Amino acid sequence: MGGIILFYGFISITFYVLNALAFMNLAKLAGRRDIAWMAWVPVANRVQQLLLIRKNGAWVLILLIPIVNIVFLILWQVKLLQAYDKSGAWVWMYIFLTPVYEIMWIVWGFSDKTRYVLTAPFNNSTVGGTLNM
């Protein structure tokens, strides 16, 4: 039993590190070196994703509201996919095959073909202020 727990722990840590490295690369690709470090911190990594789609980081509090959080996560992931020029249809992987979806983000994070396509400039409303969606 200890071997299974150790194996699962190793796999979990490996995925966490790869995901953090990938989202550091994705933040840099978006021109946001200032928030690249957030990929390593639980909860802050979700705030980082919100900032990458130019939403206020306070939106992460919606994750505390049952049922609304599920709808919000799906919409959030569609916007994140679109920001990196990926089809919103990938969100079906997020819903039904989450590990595969996470692996795809790792692949995209290290791919030279991934590009960030949001063109509006970053402004203070994405860091603080209103909660525009």
Between vectors from CA 117 to CA 114 and to CA 123, what angle results, nearest 5°?
Answer: 125
Residue ranges per structural domain of the chain: 2-126
Stretch 45-55: mean pLDDT, rounded?
Answer: 94
Predicted model pTM: 0.84
**Residue indicated by tokens 């150790």:** 6
Segment 6-16 mean pLDDT: 95
Q: What is the pLDDT of residue 133?
A: 47
Note the helical H segments in the chain: 2-29, 44-52, 68-83, 91-96, 98-110
What would the mean pLDDT of 48-66 be, rounded to a whole number?
A: 92
Average pLDDT (103-111) is 96
What average pLDDT is seen over the chain? Answer: 89
How many residues in the chain? 133
Distance CA 132, CA 112 (A): 31
| Spatial distance between the Cα atoms of 133 and 112, rounded to a whole number of angstroms | 30
pLDDT at position 128 over 60? no
Q: What Rg value do the Cα atoms of the chain yield, rounded? A: 15
pLDDT of residue 129: 42
